[in-house]
Amino acid sequence: MDLTIEGKAYFNGCFNDCCIGIKNGKISEIKKILKGDKHLNFGNKLILPAGIDLHVHFRDPGMTNKEDFSTGSMAAAFGGISCAFDMPNTIPQTTSLENLSDKIITADKKSYVDFGVYVGVIDDNISNLEKLAKKCSGFKIYLGSSTIALAFDKRKLRKALETISKTDKLVLFHAEDEELLIKNKGVENNIVDHLHLRPSVCEETSIKHIIQASQGLNLKAHICHLSSIEGLELLKKRPNNISCGVTPHHSLLSADKPIGSQTFYKVNPPIRSSFDKESLFNATKNGIIDVIESDHAPHTKDEKDAEFNDAPSGLPGVETMFPLFLRLAKKEVFQFPRVISLLCQRPADLLNIPKGKIEVGRDADLIVVDLKNEVRIKSDKLHSKCGWTPFEDWPAIFPSNVFIRGEKIIEDNEIQVSQGFGKFVGA
């Protein structure tokens, strides 16, 4: 074996004092005692599977003043995320084989963590989706407008889903109804205006349409960033082939208690009421939600420091997501098995990648966590190019060590590998 790692590891549903053997980047053995060419003993520290973020916007190409694959993936690594999946609303949009190939080449040169790339579904590429499926990690459909969203006529949804169902790819949705967004369009002066102009009925209507259009199809569909109690109630009765995710900002923040400048909390779909927040938080804790996803969507401080109506929507989160929920697990607000399911196992299952679990045959993507090492989140300690966080001063637990495919990439708060270490997955 190339490496053995010893500590209190989470596998088979509980924590065990054991050794994890790693060979050729894969977990090869899990036993009480193992010795490899190199042995690392982490004592009583926890060894967990690394996280998977199935929803990031690393802004590369076209908006690299906000983020790129280098800074975004470094932020992911320090947050315990070994694999991140990038959305298609870049410049140019990732809707063609050429743009998809170019983005993969760019990410392959820059990324510190493993990565996937989604293709955006638009009216003009429906006939090419089977060909694109051979190269992409999944598909994204925007049923409502957002930051450089890809316009899509919902009347073509059934046709698009029929084509995607012929592949094994996950299709993810931004579930806000465009007709209702247009009907409600107006000037926004604050965060309450923003949620009133993007009311929960937009999400509810869109989710109903997705459920209806996917009926009878052999399809894996995922509702991104659920934000409302109305959407949640619909999804409690969803078909088995439809999964859903929530973000830390929708489950931990509320519009009636904004912290700091309101433009920094402007996001689509909006952060809603305390009632929505608590409902989503409890659903996440109690098994109704499938995954936690960051929807990492950074903008610069200068862009956010504008009149509310002019400020862009979106906020960063890939680096703080896992640490926030590790701290909640330490405080027994969440159970560790639930956090690991939400951030590791279920995303891996949905994307059909060999990560997310400490199990023989899977990638040796691991994090080491010292529960005593609780810190306050500080923007100047984070690694995103945007330089701010909506969770400033929140308590969190960051991993002390991160491994990807058996290689140590974070140790003592220092990156241990070069740009381009990350590999493309999911095709």
DSSP letter string, 328-379: HHHTTSS-HHHHHIIIIIHHHHHHT-S-SS--TTSB--EEEE-TT-EEE--G
User: And the tokens for 388?
Assistant: 């701010």
In contact, 87 and 56? CB cutoff 8 Å: yes
Structure tokens that stand for 5 in this block: 């790692």
Please enumerate in sequence order all residues whose Cβ is within 8 A of that of 234, keeping only pairs 6 or more positions apart, or say none. 204, 207, 208, 211
Residue among 229, 259, 262, 232 at smallest CA distance from 244: 232
d(CA 224, CA 53): 12
- Indicate which residue of 86, 295, 363, 365 is catalytic: 295
Please count the helices (runs of H) and the strands (runs of E) in the chain.
14, 18
Interatomic CA distance for residues 136 and 107, integer angstroms: 13
Q: Say what the alpha-carbon torsion angle 419, 1, 27, 16 is, to the nearest 10 degrees.
A: -120
For this structure, is 295 an active site residue?
yes
DSSP annotation string for 3-67: EEEEEEEEETTEEEEEEEEEETTEEEEEESS---SSEEEEEEEEEEEPEEEEEE---TTT-TTT-
Identity of residue 21: G
Q: Which residues of 343-379 are buried (b: 16+ CB within 10 A; e: fewer)?
A: bbbbbbbbbebebbbbeeebbbbbbbbbeeeeeebee
Helix, strand, or coil (residue 301): helix
Active site residues: 295
